[in-house]
Structure 1
């Protein structure tokens, strides 16, 4: 019998990561401890480390503005990290909106809600293209008008206002209408990082896929279940290479057969059945 820690260790590590990162941004304005200044869009940490969301930098260029050198360095650093660990690790290990959407998924499960609207997952890529085009047309960083990520950060400091509206709307949408609706179908930030992470080094693999007993738990907990099937049920590579995979590792947590593990994209090894 696997312990609670064994079945939830990656989930608890993700929650710790999200909360610690959020706390680092909040303790400056709230307590005067300025380890990190700025938001997840652009920040300056520990007096030497600039970090910039590459999607924000791209919109800045499209809007006809020349970013500061520090912003370019910050975006390059972020890109370098996510090209190694997987772009959508931002979604599962950093983004505070993930706390809302995961809670909505839990509520949906508790309420026994099954059916929902059908939305194509590539909708988020069309929305990303629209956001970039809008930045070019309006000469502004268009996504920051409605970005729920930085909206939540500002709301926690200055009063939620519109941020409450966005958070509640995302929660209701994910709970009642579409499972994993915002992150899995609409969010252009997730789409951007999925493109960044297509060639990332760190990957979830299924080296013991022969031991799969078809319990479907991995498909149930995965925010992007369509990425699992080829690696788990195919005859080729056991590596989940899709950029949409967020490396949340919940499949590792819930699998009693220890089918999955974290490895790298070049590890094509599969254990032979006994």
Structure 2
């Protein structure tokens, strides 16, 4: 029980990330009735049927496994309870610049995401939704186990992700295509889990090996343009990590565990809020702090007494 309480944010994050993938997966499952028997079909795969049954399966009406799926679509564009649209802001910008059609649902979905993350959650998408975070966190865990967490064979500025973001938008405009989506490992992993892993496996494996052996938090912290997009969107978000200098014993466990350790520059220096936009709101710094010197708070809502 103590471990569960101590790691509550980690548990919430993993439940959220895996749960979202599971909901997308189940929304793409269906039941096919042949004769008086119902057959479960995953992602439209009819390979388990004999040739004669396969023709019947194609001809028969399919019914969704979930009558009212909670989540439908993908991480680029989806609907919650078939009512509330959610749209990836980076995908939206690429579609717009590439000259694609902008539907009302797509526009409304972007508005919902901008409101949710811009006002409150900031870059929280990276910690609570993005499936690639599962892969990069595993790489970071193995780095600590193997005691190679400070080893790097390559170096990039953390601002490189903003350059890649700008490049993705320029290429989308120039060539009329969604430039980043064609190589996006986040989309590759999502499609792999929901529809079956194909060549996208190698893209995901590349991210894992890059983070494990080349550069700690290399993809998410240095290269991912979606992370850069949410950093910009959440620049003025209200949910922040708050630091209390008077409680801190300067053990620096928070610095060690944080995937964006540069945001914790105030540790050991002064009390205040972590206002750097790169913070992904994962809560790991709070969980490893035995001094209760860190907590989540609403910016300026509960100011520390002088």
Q: TM-score, normalised by structure 1?
A: 0.93
Residues 95-134 of structure 1, C-alpha deviation per residue, up to 9 Å, x if partnerless?
Answer: 0000000000011111111310222111111111111111
Residues 208-231 of structure 1, C-alpha deviation per residue, up to 9 Å, x if partnerless?
Answer: 22221111110011111100113x
Match of 2:177 in 1: 140
Of 224, 237, 256 in structure 2, the residue corresponding to residue 220 of structure 1 is: 256
Match of 1:149 in 2: 186
Give, in angstroms, the shift of residue 3 of structure 1: 2.7
Contact 2:188/2:204, CA 8 A, preserved across alignment: no
Between the two proteins, the alignment pairs up a number of residues equal to 268
Asked if 1:53 is matched to 2:52, the reply is no
Contact 1:82/1:200, CA 8 A, preserved across alignment: yes
Asked if 1:88 is matched to 2:87, the reply is no
Give, in angstroms, the shift of residue 58 of structure 1: 1.1
Residues 235-271 of structure 1, C-alpha deviation per residue, up to 9 Å, x if partnerless?
Answer: 4x60111111111111110000000111112246336
Give, in angstroms, the shift of residue 57 of structure 1: 1.0
Give, in angstroms, the shift of residue 86 of structure 1: 2.8
CA distance in 1, matches of 2:184, 2:120: 24
Contact 1:239/1:268, CA 8 A, preserved across alignment: no
Runs of 5+ consecutive residues of structure 2 not aligned to the other structure: 31-64
Give, in angstroms, the shift of residue 83 of structure 1: 1.1
Q: SS of the residue aligned with 1:37?
A: strand
Which structure has more strand as a fraction of its residues? 2
Give, in angstroms, the shift of residue 36 of structure 1: 2.0
Which structure is larger by alpha-carbon Rg, 1 or 2? 2
Match of 1:112 in 2: 147
Match of 2:17 in 1: 18
Bigger Cα displacement from structure 2, 127-136 vs 149-158: 149-158
Report matched runs for 1:33-44 at 5 Å.
33=66, 34-44=69-79
Contact 2:240/2:281, CA 8 A, preserved across alignment: yes
CA distance in 2, matches of 1:156, 1:115: 31
Match of 1:175 in 2: 212
Match of 1:8 in 2: 7
Give, in angstroms, the shift of residue 137 of structure 1: 0.6
Of 205, 228, 232 in structure 2, the residue corresponding to residue 191 of structure 1 is: 228
Contact 1:86/1:198, CA 8 A, preserved across alignment: no
Q: SS of the residue aligned with 1:108?
A: helix
Contact 1:88/1:194, CA 8 A, preserved across alignment: yes
Contact 1:148/1:163, CA 8 A, preserved across alignment: yes
Match of 1:244 in 2: 278
Asked if 1:73 is matched to 2:98, the reply is no
Give, in angstroms, the shift of residue 234 of structure 1: 4.0
Q: TM-score, normalised by structure 2?
A: 0.83
Give, in angstroms, the shift of residue 141 of structure 1: 1.5
CA distance in 2, matches of 1:58, 1:87: 18
Match of 1:159 in 2: 196
Q: SS of the residue aligned with 1:142?
A: coil
CA distance in 2, matches of 1:28, 1:127: 33
Bigger Cα displacement from structure 2, 251-260 vs 28-37: 28-37
